Homo-oligomer: A and B are copies of this chain.
Amino acid sequence: MFHITDIFRSTFICPKDLLTKCGWKNNDQLPDDAHVLFFFFFKFLFLCQSVNAMLLLRRCHRLNPIGLLSIDRNQVAPVVASCAVRLCSSNNDQRFHQHGFSASWRHVLAGLLAGTGVVLAYGLHHHKAIEKSSPLPIISQEEVTRHRSLKDGVWVTYQGGVYDITEFVSIHPGGEKIMMAAGGAIEPFWSLYAVHNQEHVLEMLSAYKIGELKAEDLKKQNTFKSSDPYSSDPERHPVLHANSLKPFNAEPPPEILSDSYITPTAFFFKRNHLPVPQVDPDLYRLHVEGLPRGVLTLSLEDLKTRFPKHTITATLQCAGNRRSEMNKARQVKGLNWGVGAIGNATWSGAKLRDVLLAAGFGPDVAQWARHVQFEGLDKEITGSAYGASIPINKAVSEEGDVLLAYEMNGKDIPADHGFPIRVVVPGVVGTRNVKWLGKIVVSAQESSSHWQQNDYKGFSPEIDWDTVDYKSAPAIQELPVQSAITTPAEGSMIDRTEEMLTVKGYAWSGGGREVIRVDVSVDGGKTWKVAKLKSSDKEGDQTSPPLGRAWAWKLWEITVPLPPEAQELELICKAVDNSYNTQPDTFGPIWNVRGLLSNAWHRVKVKITEDDEEE
């Protein structure tokens, strides 16, 4: 990552020098403790590159009481702006050349300074808001409703308070969706996008408070208060560790994963983007569109009776599995999954290929069709459905094994996993395995959904939220080779008298590539042993799947002697698939803003306890 503080350390003696270089003539106008402010300002810049900028403003606020930010920031704002402009226009400035600065470096620095304007302005606003102490005016709902555009101002209400969030719209992490709430109450949206129910979000909101809602308008609001869209979500097994409750996102404890080759449905990780839709199986209809014969509509009964039933064993993995480890290397944005956002199940249903052929897919369509789009019955508050797409050749290939699955592990697919129909795209990232499938569209284009276009993609470690260009990377389909240790757990205490240590885990690769080997180290990667692979729960079963159709994971296990004298062991696993692709050693070089594709070596530290410690 670009580390602005390093540049300052090597190039500038102190911030005041920077200002002089930028052409700021009158140093006397600067407050004496400007360097303190600059320290925090550039600390800010640095952190803003890697952390959700919103979170940082809390730090700003907390520093206030100890006086670090008590100088007049308004004096500094024009300085920063001036710096940015001067840097941009100083292509012929010899002083920069003397310091080895090229045009590119200046532009980077200028961009950083300019780009920070929003954050700094927001911080100043926040600071001012906190300082207010006089009673706020009473505002009517009618007045609030008049403020529903950037031109007229964007006002919202929350629990009887009125907030002018005009300035916040452009820096809202969720983008323009925030405008849906303009002129009205914010509660219905926050109940759907439950990520907002966090202390720091309320704290940020409070900075924009401009008044209190008229008592009778508040009373009316409460009468119409929308119900919780997640209230009809199904019951979940209490052993699951939830990374988010609304929408529900949860994973099992890692040890459970290696207990059985087929992950019990109750323990299979759940990754919902929206509330679980309630579907009446008798009224359910699947629409197949985009083919010359027009729309084909199929009932659940049609899918079960008109097409042969196929069963495959396939591992599904969330693109964010193991994000928590990448997050430790450098902060990313997303649910903090451990190693449990993966599971292996049997899936039964109609082949997508068969359904597409029945709907009129043929050589003529193959001429122009490039993708098959899927829409779920789970809907955003705007009414738009969850969506994804896969390449047409995966969808129609005999060997693609894409199913419109109505059974998971031999029973009806449960609500959390897509009842009554989930498209199972083996070898492909979980997000394209659309649940509660409502519509299939054969198209020349990819799905236009947020999740296909602007979410599940990988980027270079240099790319941050300011520079990310979602068009520059392909949507994730096949996933890279992956493995993880499920037991022992991080920090486990191993009794030395046991002499041997058993390490277990899973390994899988995308695209139907079979895992052919897992290497395990108990000494931090100095030496490696080959683990024993399991392709089923049957002892000694070593049957291989057809080439290119290894959809299911391998469980692995190895028992090694405890190295004498070692007091702590760093256990590592790494897998190799039959294309001989391997996992990267470390997370830094595969780091990406969304924390996806987190497949560096899995490392687990355990301690060895001595007999005499216990006696």
Contact = CB atoms under 8 A, between A and B. Distances in A.
Contacts of A93: none
Contact of A578 (B474, B527, B578, B579): B474
A460 B573 CA distance: 12
Given A474-B516, A528-B461, A589 B580 contact: no
B561 A104 contact: yes
B547 A101 contact: no
Q: Is the interface of A mostly helix, strand, loop or mixed?
A: loop
Given A474-B578, A580-B479, A562 B458 contact: no
A340 interface: no
A516 B576 contact: no
A28 to B, nearest CB: 30
Interface in A158-200: none
Nearest to A371: B547
A528 to B, nearest CB: 5
Contact of A582 (B463, B474, B511, B590): B590
Contacts of A101: 564
Contact of A100 (B105, B461, B528, B562): B562
Given A462-B529, A562-B100, A585 B580 contact: no
A152 to B, nearest CB: 41
A233 interface: no
Contacts of A203: none
Interface string A532-561: 000000000000001110000000000011
Contacts of A354: none
Contact count band on A: 35 or more
A581 to B, nearest CB: 4
A424 B581 CA distance: 22
A585 B574 CA distance: 13
B516 A589 contact: no
Given A564-B11, A585-B589, A478 B579 contact: yes
Contacts of A458: 576, 580
A477 interface: yes
Contacts of A590: 582
A99 interface: yes
A411 interface: no
A510 interface: yes
Contacts of A279: none
Interface string A266-286: 000000000000000000000
Given A461-B519, A476-B580, A10 B565 contact: yes
Contacts of A527: 1-3, 461-462
Contacts of A100: 499, 561-565
Interface string A578-615: 11111111101110000001000000000000000000
Contact of A547 (B393, B461, B580): B393
A468 to B, nearest CB: 12
The 3 A-B pairs at the shortest CB distance, nearest first, are namely A100-B564, A585-B585, A478-B579
Given A100-B562, A104-B560, A511-B579, 5 more contacts: A100-B563, A458-B580, A461-B528, A519-B589, A579-B581
Interface of A: 1-3, 10-11, 99-102, 104-105, 391, 393, 399, 458, 460-463, 473-474, 476-481, 499-500, 510-511, 516-517, 519, 525, 527-530, 546-548, 560-565, 574, 576, 578-586, 588-590, 597
10 contacts: A104-B560, A105-B561, A458-B576, A460-B517, A462-B529, A462-B530, A519-B589, A574-B589, A584-B585, A585-B586
